[in-house]
Amino acid sequence: MMKRIKEIEKKEHIIKLLHDELVRILGEYKILEIPSGKQSRIMFLGLYGAGKTTTLAKIGNWYAKRGKKVIMVGLDVHRPAAKEQLEQLGKKNNLPYFVDFEETDAIKTWKNLKKNTI
């Protein structure tokens, strides 16, 4: 356990502890290399309002511009307007997307995607 540094606020100390633990678990920053010819999936996890959906569109653009096949899938079945936001970003960025507006189960949405597109 790390000793608390008295010169910094408790909030800053907690953020530092969380950051260090995430780096320990996930590793240092590096570009995610996706092998050609293999299907890969990237899942975004985080708190509401952290920018996951917006970041998803940016990452989708980045890979699409480099010749990778991209599809954004709306699996956030809890946040209000999450599916609409994903649809808008897909249209705005010219990226394919799959959103099941009727389904409230993310696993079933994933299975519907696989049934309809993959």
Smallest Cα–Cα separation from 43: which of 110, 92, 102?
110
Looking at the structure, tell me whether residues 69 and 101 fall in a common domain. Answer: yes
**The dihedral sign for the CA sequence 29, 39, 103, 62:** positive
Give a yes or no: residue 46 inside a domain: no
Looking at the structure, tell me whether residues 69 and 100 fall in a common domain. Answer: yes
Range of the domain at 2: 1-30
Task: Work out the percent of the chain whose per-residue pLDDT is above 90.
Answer: 39
Looking at the structure, tell me whether residues 64 and 104 fall in a common domain. Answer: yes
**Count of structural domains within the chain:** 2
Tens digits of per-residue pLDDT, 58-116? 999 999 998 888 999 999 888 889 999 999 999 999 999 999 998 899 999 999 888 77
Average of per-residue pLDDT values in the chain: 87
Strand partners, 72: 97
Give a yes or no: residue 36 inside a domain: no
Smallest Cα–Cα separation from 86: which of 112, 60, 68?
60
Q: Which long-range contacts (CB under 8 A, 24 or more apart) does 5-14 make?
A: none
